[in-house]
Structures are given as structure tokens and as C-alpha cells.
A = this chain, B = another copy of it.
Amino acid sequence: MNKKPVRIGVVGYGFMGRTHSNAYSQLDHFFDTQHIPVRQVICGRSEDKVKDFAQKWGYHDTETDWRELVKRDDVDAIDICTPNDSHYDIALAAIENGKMILCEKPLALDGAQGRKMVEAIEAAGLPNLVWYNYRFLPAVTLAKKIIDSGELGRVFHYRANFLQDWTMSEELPQGGAALWRLDAAAAGSGVTGDLLAHNIDCARWLNGDIVSVSAMTETFIKERVHQETGEVQPVNIDDACAFLARFENGSLAIFESTRYARGHKSYKTFEINGQNKSLSWDLHDLNRLSYFDHSVPSETRGWSSIHVSDGDHPYAGNWWVPGLCLGYEHSFVHGAVEFMKHLDNPNAEKAFPDFRHALGTQYVCDAVLESARTKQWVDVKKA
């Protein structure tokens, strides 16, 4: 029981602050890693709120300024849960202070920022992760395992959606603490960085690099009231984005994301079609993986729905028994597990996206936004 504590300082106590805190709280209950996360310091601008959060989640201390947090000797790793426009500054400061980093996605506002972050953290040799959490759902990890086995054969097609409908009302304001995702200054972009980035991370993990894209974006509601100032402002984010893509392995893809698809709450999907097998999945039914195996005799061949909850399915055996579902938050627990395993055994292959992988995803996002602006096919930079 010689556990090695990793003392974490979390910046931001919003939605992501909660998902990460839950991951750190749950990890040791269900997984047996040598390194274990310690909820050391929670940092946020409001002193009252940060103290409440610390008490609720069992943090040992609080900070109200991340510049102080990154200097603390009792913190080993900084977890960045703030809006996208602050990732760069916090990360650079944390690196300067020799801290490991776990950073919310997307890595940065754009590839230029991201490249500097990668250079800095790699030069410093610090362990680092970007929270593309959906990889860590058992069904998605199982898909990765099947694909890595080579059983699909040549891949012909990939398609992925991320559909929501929560911003369809014209009454919805933008900006401010809760709605910064609608403010281009804070978020960098709209659905491209918020939602498609997740799809691109998964796609690159499952199917390799994307080499070129043709995209379109749209802002359906052109003006909104700012939540804090009350002023009517133009909306600068992309409400919707769709793009065609070609992968390095020769396969074709379509990607689409929107916050204007009535009826879909958080409908994130992927499907991959290989010569011998196909796989598909969606977040609304996250415990299931659809699987088609062409080698089954034709009479009984069909798409099968794997309930990814058996003891030998990824992560599932650490939780309950076959047939019992896991949920959304488990993805973060598993992400934290993979980071701890990496600290346990730094030379093994990483099962999580690090800054460099996230930079590659950022480059795809940049190319998508450029293509939408220029109406041209755009080649994607290599990370």
C-alpha cells in the first residue's frame, strides 16, 4: 500500500472542475495505481465559492489567483479547467514552475499558441495530458482495441457528428461565467473547438491523421445580448460546422457539429467502415458499441449491439457486474487512471492524448476554420 501521492492544484470550479474533482475522488475507490491523485488546492476567483467547493470536494486548501497556485511547493500538477483563452498563460506559468499539467480541451485558442505550449512542456520534460475524455468510455476504448488489432482491414469511411440544440433560443444571452462558450473571445470558436475537437481527437486516435479538409460554418443567430453588460452584440462563433476530410490512410470522412439540431442533447457519434468490419457508437447510449463482422456466415450476419459492461471489457471489470451501466463521469476517472499509470510506468505507450496529440487536433480545427473562411480545401499541418 505504498501509494505515491500526486498533489493536484485545480484552476476553475465550474462544470469541468466538478468532473475532474470527481475523477480524483473516485480513482482510488475502483482502481489500483501506484500513483494516486490528491485533491490539494482548488483555485478560483470568488473566495466564497472556492471555499464552498473545497469543503464539498475535500480539497486541503484554496487559492484565488492561479499565479500563486502555480508557485506552490505543495502542488505537483496543475489541472486547467478555465475558459480556453487562459489555457496558454496558465500552462506556460505552470511549466516555468516545473508542474505537470492536465489541461481541459481544446489545448489553446489556436495552433500558434498550442505549438508554443508543446515546445515548452516537451523542453521541460513534464508529464502532460489534455482532457479529451470520451476516449476513455469503455465502448470507445473497445473500438480502439478492435481497430488496433487490424481486423477491420483497409478502412474506407469514417463519419462523426456532435449534435446539440441548447442555443437555439434567440433569448439566450452570450458571454459571462456560464455562457463563455458563446463568446468567441473566450472560446476561440464555437462548435469547432468545443465539440468537433472531441470528434477530431477520437478520429485521429482511431483512424490516424487527417490530411485535408473542406468546411462550411454558419452563425444562425447573428446578434445576442451579452449576459453581463446587457448590450446587443454580434455573435462571432460558429453555431454549426460541417466538413469533408481525407485521412492519411486513404479513407474519406464527413464531420458535422451544431447546436441547432432540435432533439439532440449531446449526440456525439462515430462510425468507421473497414473492409471486414464496421463499428459505430453514440454518446446517448454510451454503454453500447455497434459492431458488424462480415466474416459471420451471411445467413446470421447483422449489426450487433455489444453492451460494453462485461468483466473483460475495458475498465468495466473495475466497477460492477455484467449488464450494469456506467455513465459520463466515468470517462474522467479513466482518464485520470491512464495518467497515473503513465507516472507508474513512464516508458509504456500512453493511452491518453498529450499536448502534442492535442496540437494535431488543434491544427485540424484551424484548417477547418480557414477552409470555411476561404471556401477552399486546406491541408492540415503536422503536429
Contacts and interface: CB of A to CB of B under 8 A. Distances in A.
Interface in A256-278: 256, 258, 260-267, 273-278
A13 interface: no
B299 A261 contact: no
Contacts of A294: 262-263
A289 to B, nearest CB: 8
Contacts of A142: 299
Interface in A307-333: 307, 309-310, 312-313, 319-330
B307 A304 contact: no
A185 interface: no
Interface residues of A, number: 94
A243 B244 contact: yes
Interface string A328-347: 11100000000000000000
A264 B324 CA distance: 11
Given A252-B240, A328-B325, A263 B258 contact: no
Contacts of A242: 244, 252, 254
A34 to B, nearest CB: 14
Interface string A275-289: 111100001111111
B321 A15 contact: yes
A33 interface: no
A313 B327 contact: no
A316 to B, nearest CB: 11
A262 B278 contact: yes
B322 A166 contact: yes
Interface stretch (A61-69, A97-105, A201-209, A213-221): A213-221
A180 interface: no
Contacts of A157: 240, 256, 258, 260-261
25 contacts: A1-B52, A25-B29, A146-B299, A156-B258, A156-B261, A166-B322, A168-B275, A216-B246, A218-B252, A242-B244, A243-B244, A262-B292, A262-B294, A263-B292, A264-B323, A265-B309, A283-B325, A284-B287, A298-B312, A300-B304, A301-B306, A303-B304, A303-B305, A327-B330, A375-B377
